[in-house]
Structure 1
Amino acid sequence: MRKPTLFVLFLIVFVDLVGFGIVLPLLPLYSEKLGASGLMIGCIVASYNLMQFFFAPWLGKLSDRIGRRPIILLSTAGSAISYALFGYASGLSGTQGLVMLLVSRVLAGICGANLSVASAYVADITPPEKRSSGVGMVIGMGFGLGFIFGPLIGGLSNHFLGEAAPGWVAASICLFNFIAAFFILAESRSKDAKPPVKRSQWAQWAHTLKQPKLGILVLLVFLATICFACFETTLPLLLVKHMGFEETQLYYLMAYSGFIAAMVQGGAIRKLVHRYGEKPLILASFFGLTASFVLIPLGSSMAAVLGSLAIYAFFSGINRPPLTGLISIISPENEQGANLGVSQSASAIGRIIGPPLATSLYVIQAPMPYWVCAGIALVAGLIAMVFLTRLLADVQGGKGGGDAPSPKEP
């Protein structure tokens, strides 16, 4: 009988996010080519996150009931279909192409909500003291590497095979991922686990947020995601339009930032959580992000930009794993998927709000989004400093426990 392992889950999440990374950079360009207005482009981009807002808690609760494996398989198959639709839409024109593009992103958003299920999978097979590092390896490193290899594959396939190729390549990768997952991914949820609590979606939101410990962590996830979304939306504009970098340099700079974040989440986070625990890392991440947002628009040379991006990449890399890890540690085993789904929904709201906020501020003054994000990160750090220590005083987390043996560990 197959045993659930973090490495197998990482491979599945990573390959899925490579497909996401192939399509995402091309989405605004293809939308504009099909005749979309600026508002329509924003709606197509936001549709992905809107679907995550609605479906992440539902998929999380469903995984608490029927298991993680079926949801991950279903979502992986759905991703393959959504990218095939993207490839098909790329070969159309006018309204028909835009409608098909929107449908592809709606389906991708529904399927992309499975990251909360992947986090619950990690929680099922890791002890509390290793949960944050497990999330960092599977989700964090998967994101970082996916956004390094995905755009590269997308750019090469677009250049050599044509505009429709990236969507079809992404669909092929995800189809391969589904077939591999079907044979190698084991179920992580124990048959003896407590039955999930049945609640409506809005009741689940209320139940999660009214618990002070979970509520403050979900709020911090939301504030952090607004900052990340603003950064991702305006960095190309800032570097190319405002600072005068070449587009090829932009890709290398984004890959450089993604590589640092991936290395932090894939390796360093384990030692950091073991030495310091989750709460100090969360505090440090927000104050470090504050400094990076102040420094990024001040860069007047390549060296300065590299330095400020390195600061951002490091502190963004130590932000999400401990937040997700603490949410998992606090949640009962029969509410892992549901509570992590609410967290992912809060993140989706941040990604809906962040891009239009960032572009509106950028029009006023190019550095403005970064200054506002510095303020948001500072406020989040102060909230964490005031409330985390008091509310989570009884939560052990991973400090000093990183090497503890556990029968649950694969």
Structure 2
Amino acid sequence: MSEGIAARGSLRGDQDGPPAYAALTLVGILFINMVGFGIVIPLLPFYGLAFSAEPWQVALIFSAFSVGSLFGEPLWGRLSDLYGRRILLISTVSGNCLCYLALAFADTAWLAFAIRLLGGFASGNGSVVQAYIADVTPPEKRARRMSWLGAAFAIGLIVGPAIGGSFVDESRGVPGFRIPLLLASAASACSLVALLLFVKEPRTRIVVARPKLKIGSALAQVVKHPVIGRLMLLTLLVSFAFTGVEVMFGLWAHARFGWGAREIGQCFAIAGAISAFTQIFVTGRLSERYGEAHVLAGGMAMTVVGCFLQPFSNGLMMTTALISLTAAGQSIAFPNVVTLISRTCDPSRQGQVLGFNNATGAFGRTTGPFTASLGFGHISPNLPYFAAAGLVAPAILLALRAVRHERRHNISKAPPE
């Protein structure tokens, strides 16, 4: 018994964390994933039209990536628990590289859908990256490093659409979309080389028996956990709500102010820059000073205020300020969710549990836009914002209750003096 406990505790042994270049390489891997995702955002409607695809087929191609990651996240996370983080990162980044290359030469809408599905499955390695950083980072520094990943996420969603829009040539039909997709493949290849050169397996590993993977029973156990279950529900609510209003923002701004792509792009660029700045310079410091509970609840409160007030906006400045407030709230909150989960769960299952949480977020990002579009089109353009505020508000209570249980969990497992 004591040997098993010691083996589990040894995963926390590298308290100085990975070398700086290894941590930055891991952040770069997630950045490349989000650049690849973002590249397709401005291309996809026109890419589908180049295949003479129907609107519902275009929607399928777009959602295929998130559906793939929904299944990839928990699987890659669990396999990394069993066989190591590095080998899983090498495998998934290689698959991602090949999928971008294949997508550049797809010649039918259904082939593009299949490739996007596989690409999303391969790109579902965020849980492996998170687990690696959690493995080698002491709890008090974990929120700061997780916020670096969030910054990579935000900046990737700024850079990706810019690349996609700048290098496409619609006049050439399907071949005109190849250059940005080839660039995404090349970037993934560079990320793979950096991974091979600079990222090593954590020095301390847990030696555990390798049981059969029972995803269903493992998920049920995680959902019932008093801390992790609440945090996963929080992730679902916030991802569902925030992605819905994010996708509908362009249509809402056009309906309310008559804006075009230029004004909408400016709003997103400013919000993305503020989000990245917040995660790099603010989130970690706030968490270390005030604790994850207060910072998580504060980020959720900022999101509620931003969403609720958006329908009352009277112009460009107020709209940009509110969408930036919402983005900053997300940037402050989510790194602390990952930190709390990694600190609470069994280290031998860290990758799988983080994978479940990421899959929950992917499910919210897949279903949120569709639901928001129904409310926008059939009831009111403002409904997605009010609904988002109503969904995120209970997440504040979920966060506070989860942290209360997490403190009890830590007290109960503390050794007697």
TM-score between both structures, scaled by the size of structure 1: 0.89
Moved more, 18-27 or 201-210: 18-27
Residue 46 of structure 1, CA deviation: 2.2
Question: Which residue identity lines up with residue 124 of structure 2 in the other structure?
Answer: A
Whether the 8 Å contact between 1:196 and 1:335 is mirrored in structure 2 is: no
Q: Among 185, 192, 196, which residue is 2:199 paired with?
A: 185
| Residue aligning to 2:65 | 48
Q: Does 2:143 correspond to 1:132?
A: yes
Matches of 1:30 and 1:202, distance apart in 2: 37
| Residue aligning to 2:156 | 146
Matches of 2:353 and 2:387, distance apart in 1: 29
| Residue aligning to 1:401 | none
SS in structure 2 of the partner of residue 36 of structure 1: coil
Cα deviation, 1:292-339, whole Å, max 9, x if unaligned, reads 111223222111112112211210111210001100000121111010
Matches of 1:287 and 1:128, distance apart in 2: 24
Whether the 8 Å contact between 1:48 and 1:106 is mirrored in structure 2 is: yes
Whether the 8 Å contact between 2:72 and 2:123 is mirrored in structure 1 is: no
| Residue aligning to 1:203 | 217
| Residue aligning to 2:79 | 62
Residue 247 of structure 1, CA deviation: 0.7
Matches of 2:160 and 2:317, distance apart in 1: 26
Q: Does 2:374 correspond to 1:357?
A: no
SS in structure 2 of the partner of residue 393 of structure 1: helix
Q: Quick one: percent identity of the two aligned structures?
A: 28
Whether the 8 Å contact between 1:292 and 1:311 is mirrored in structure 2 is: yes
Change over 3 Å in CA distance of 1:374–1:189 after alignment to 2: farther
Matches of 1:147 and 1:273, distance apart in 2: 24
Q: Does 2:120 correspond to 1:105?
A: no
Cα deviation, 1:215-255, whole Å, max 9, x if unaligned, reads 11111111111022102211121223432122122222111
Whether the 8 Å contact between 1:197 and 1:335 is mirrored in structure 2 is: no
Change over 3 Å in CA distance of 1:332–1:366 after alignment to 2: same
Cα deviation, 1:37-96, whole Å, max 9, x if unaligned, reads 33323322222222222221111110011111111111111111111222113xx3xxxx
TM-score between both structures, scaled by the size of structure 2: 0.88
Question: Which residue identity lines up with residue 367 of structure 1 in the other structure?
Answer: N
Residue 198 of structure 1, CA deviation: 4.3
Q: Where does structure 2 lack aligned partners over 5 or more consecutive residues?
A: 1-16, 412-417
Q: Among 160, 166, 186, which residue is 1:156 paired with?
A: 166
Matches of 2:390 and 2:126, distance apart in 1: 28
Change over 3 Å in CA distance of 1:361–1:244 after alignment to 2: same
| Residue aligning to 2:98 | 81
SS in structure 2 of the partner of residue 35 of structure 1: coil
| Residue aligning to 2:361 | 347
Whether the 8 Å contact between 2:70 and 2:121 is mirrored in structure 1 is: no
Question: Which residue identity lines up with residue 185 of structure 1 in the other structure?
Answer: V
Query: Deviating runs (4+, > 6 A) in structure 1?
Result: none
| Residue aligning to 1:376 | 391
| Residue aligning to 1:20 | 37
Question: Which residue identity lines up with residue 144 of structure 1 in the other structure?
Answer: A
Number of residue pairs matched by the alignment: 388
| Residue aligning to 1:403 | none
| Residue aligning to 1:400 | none
Q: Does 2:321 correspond to 1:307?
A: yes
| Residue aligning to 1:242 | 256
| Residue aligning to 2:6 | none
Residue 278 of structure 1, CA deviation: 0.8
Matches of 1:365 and 1:115, distance apart in 2: 35
Whether the 8 Å contact between 2:18 and 2:136 is mirrored in structure 1 is: no
Whether the 8 Å contact between 1:121 and 1:189 is mirrored in structure 2 is: no
Matches of 1:129 and 1:194, distance apart in 2: 26
Q: Where does structure 1 lack aligned partners over 5 or more consecutive residues?
A: 398-410
